[in-house]
Structure formats: C-alpha cells, structure tokens
Amino acid sequence: MAYAGEAFRHDIFVSYSHGDLQGSGDNPLKRWSNRFARALEEELKILPGMGRDLRIFIDSDARPSQGVDPTSPLTEQLRENVRSSAMLAVLMSPHYLESEWCEKERDWWLERQKELGLPHDGRIAVIRIWPISKEWTEKPWPEAFKDAHGEELVGFTFYDRKRPDWWWPYGWPDFTGDTMNQLNSGLLGLVGSLKRKLEELRQSMGDRNRRTEQAQRLTAPGGQLIYLHGRSDDAKAWETAGTRLTEGGFVVLPDAPEAVEPDPKRSLAARELRVQMMSGCDALLLVGSGDGRALDADLVTVGHRDRHSARAIADRLLPCAVLDDSDAINSSPRRRQTARGLGIDVISGTSERWSPEVHSWLQQKSAHPGAA
C-alpha cells in the first residue's frame, strides 16, 4: 500500500521520454531524467513520516522499446504500475509530447481515475525540463495538463527561461556544473509541493474509505443503530415506531422518548447526552409530532444542529429522516421545503408496515453518501 492510501500501489509515477525515438538504447536525456527521478525519490523519502510508506515508480527500464506488441506481459505490467499510482509526475519536454509511450502512460492513468471516481486536478505535477516550441514539436499540449480556464499548468521549471540559447535542463548532462544550485533549489520546492499534495490525498482517501465503510454498513441486512428521537408528549407514537423498527431488525436508542426539560442546565446536559449517543448511531429518525411547532423545533435543533455536532464527533454519515405518521410534513409545503433544506428526508409512517421503507432509505443513502 502506498502512503496516499490503500487504493494505490505507488504514490507517484514518474513519466518521461527516454529521448530515444529510434529505440537504439541509452542516451543523455534518459540518463538525466533517471537521475532527476532518483533525486526526487531520495528527497521525498528523507522527509519525516513519509520514508517508510512512500512508493515511487520510476520508469527507467520497464518500458518496452518502440513497436513492441502492446499485448506483451511487460506492457501490461507497466500499465498496471501507471494505473495504481496516486500522482503523475511528468518530465515535460518536446520528446515527451512526441512519445507514444508517454501518451499511453497518460491515458492509462487518466482512465483509472475515472474508474475510481477521482478528479485528476491537483494530482498531476508538470515538471518543465525543456522549452516547448513549434520548432521542435507540433503535438498539442495535453488537455489534462490544463487548468479550468484552458491554460497550460504552470508547473515547475528546471531550465533557464532567460537564456534562449541554452535549452538544456539544470545539471545537464550528468548532474554537475554551475546550474546545480538552481536544480537543487527547484527540487526542494517541488518536493514540498508533492508532500502537501500527498498529505491532502492521504487525508481525503482516508475520509473516502471511512464513508465507504459506513455506506456499506447502511446496506447490511440488519443491525443498524437507529437513534429514534421523540418527545414524551408523543410517547405512544414513539413506542410504536420503536417496536416496528426492532421487528425490522434495527437496534433502537435511546430506551425512552425525551422529556422536555425547562431548566436550561438540565436541558444542556440532556442535549450533550443526546449528541454523544447519536454519534455512535448509523441513522437518525425523528418521530413526527402532530404539534407543528414542536416538529419545527425538532427539525432545527435535533435534525440539524445536534446531528451535525454528532457527525463532527465521530465523522459519520448519520442520515436523518422524519417518520411522518401524521402527515405533518406532507401536508405543509413550507415545512417539507424546510426539511429538504436541512438535509432531512421524509418517510411516511401512515401505513402499518413502513419499516422496509427504512431499509430502502438507508440503501439509497449508501449509494449517495455525500448527500447523507
């Protein structure tokens, strides 16, 4: 598993042209690019917290020569290494744009991101090692390497823009000479940026995995923990709802409806206990009250404020719905709009057997966890 998360085998795939369009073997561009990639790997791995898990794939020897059968095992191995990488680091040059293999690597990586449902924005590092001009290549700049406005990604530059008569990258050809200071300075800036991106990706993938696990729990045959909120004034409706949920295979908390507490301190203590208990549940159901004002208060206080507090504590989905057994929601367009605006769904409780609808509702929420 890579540092960025279990969805990836490698953190960074370094893609570059070998500069050998004729397939004749080694050449200076391939040697410089390989040294650059190794230096990048060393600088990243020395960072605290990253060295043990960081995985970088450097395409130095694995790529087949031009014209190889694309169904060969070596090609498939390279394809999987590209597809299993969290980030794509491109050593941009005219040779890169001209390379069919570089194009394949780019397409393989982008294809995988679509399969994973992940945006590629912010996960492509364009490292400009050579000026690009129509004099050297007519190939267009890849669309994936443009921003939202269609402009080329600025990326990181490793050649002297102020010297139009000197096209070679810093440290050319063997990582020596008077441009090594510029190379090392640029390398550290690149490393810092990649580190931030990988940390952000690691965090977002961790959040994504947790939400996926929670969504899977919502689709389990039974055993979900339902926080059933109701007022003591509606104890009979609460008891009926709790019984039917239990018969439907759910675990219901708390063990009794809540009394309205007039004392501010006791009310605050009751609210803290409610939030703590909700934070361990899979979903929240509000028993619809015939008292419209009381229901409005529960929508805002319990369904919105307390639910968000519980989600913050446990980082859970915690979808919420009103069990509307008196049509207090459906009969009021304004209240229905309020519930929708607060991210609260409505489950009709007017029929005798409504618990299967709760299962269907949870399945729906698992398919769209971002809306829960």
Residue 322 C-alpha from the chain's centroid: 30
Q: What is the pLDDT of residues 102-140, one digit of tens each?
A: 999 999 999 999 999 999 999 999 999 999 998 899 999
Map tokens 């130095």 to a residue. Answer: 60
Walk me through the domains of the chain, giving residue ranges and CATH numbers: 10-213 (3.40.50.10140), 219-371 (3.40.50.2300)
Most confident listed range (76-85, 213-222, 300-309): 300-309
115-119, 187-191, 221-225, range with the lowest pLDDT: 221-225
What is the SS3 assignment for 289?
A: coil
Cis peptide preceding 140, ω within 30 of 0: no
Confidence check: pLDDT of 180 > 80: yes
pLDDT at 328: 66
Q: What is the pTM of this model?
A: 0.72
pLDDT band at 69; cut points 50, 70, 90 = very low
pLDDT at 66 (0 to 100): 36
Structure confidence by residue, pLDDT tens digits, 337-348: 999 999 999 998
Average pLDDT along the chain: 88
Q: Tell me which range, 47-51, 65-69, 359-363, is most confidently predicted by mean pLDDT.
A: 359-363
- Of all residues in the chain, the percent with pLDDT exceeding 70 is 92
Question: Quick check: 259 pLDDT over 50?
Answer: yes
**Residues β-bridged to residue 164:** none
Strand 320-324 versus strand 344-348 pairing type: parallel
Q: Which of 56, 154, 144, 150 is nearest to 107 (CA)?
A: 144
Strand stretches in 212-304, DSSP E: 225-229, 251-253, 283-287
